[in-house]
Amino acid sequence: MGDRRGACIDRYCIEKFLAAHQESIRGHVAEMLEDDYTRRFGGQRVEKSDVLDIDQTNPRRTITIDLAQTSMAPENVFDCIICTQTLLFIYDYTSAIRSLHKMLKPGGVLLVTIPGICRRVPREMMGGADNDWWRFTGCAAQRIFGEIFDNENVVVETFGNVLTVTAFLYGLVQEELTQDELEYHDPDYELIIGVQATKQSAR
């Protein structure tokens, strides 16, 4: 995967997306698996932080939740939810998105990243499981999230170019590309898709 030699190329895109939307990371924030991005990009704007995970052995978990079980999700809790590279592991990702929508307060913001062009996740990185289900496109993300949040409340961004996609597939790392190469955007090569979805405020 290249991460042992340096920073993964897809993480450059993910972190660029979060940095661009860091003002939305405020108040009561939830993040999947850990709270590293909450602390890094939210800073003093974060009043309370929770870590969501289905895995009860995760020592950083504060709330145990199966996102596919929307009826069990708490309602109107969070001002922001950070959900990076998670939906690909959930077969019923539509229910997961409905759970994320349900958990947001009115006016709350969901920040999601999902993979576009990439290799399958090795089983050893999933604890031996085989739960790598999905890849997405920008237009698919707009439709999927638009059906739940309404299109006017969804902003989709894509990141990548033919070089970064190829480099990522070959296992190169950020340090082996130039800043200009990492920054260049070609909409025909979607390495990472970022979604900012806002829950409709109460009227």
143 domain-assigned = yes
pLDDT of 203 reads 63
* Two tokens, residue 186: 């070609």
Q: Determine how many CB atoms are found less than 10 A away from the CB of residue 4.
A: 7
Q: What is the DSSP track for the chain?
A: --TTTS-BHHHHHHHHHHHHTGGG--EEEEEES--HHIIIIIGGGEEEEEEEES-TT-TT-SEE--TT-GGGS-SS-EEEEEEES-GGG-TTHHHHHHHHHHHEEEEEEEEEEEESS-PPPPGGGGTT---------HHHHHHHHHHHH-GGGEEEEEE--HHHHHHHHHT-BGGGS-HHHHH---TTS-SEEEEEEEPPPP-
Mean pLDDT along residues 87-104:
98
166 domain-assigned = no
Q: Domain holding 76: CATH number? A: 3.40.50.150
5 domain-assigned = no
pLDDT of 126 reads 64
176 domain-assigned = no
203 domain-assigned = no
Q: Show the domain range for 75.
A: 24-160+189-198
pLDDT of 115 reads 98
Domain count, the chain: 1
63 domain-assigned = yes
Mean pLDDT along residues 12-26:
98
pLDDT of 157 over the 80 cut: yes
8 domain-assigned = no
pLDDT of 3 over the 60 cut: no
Mean pLDDT along residues 38-63:
96
pLDDT of 128 over the 80 cut: no
44 domain-assigned = yes
If you average pLDDT over every residue of the chain, what do you get?
Answer: 95
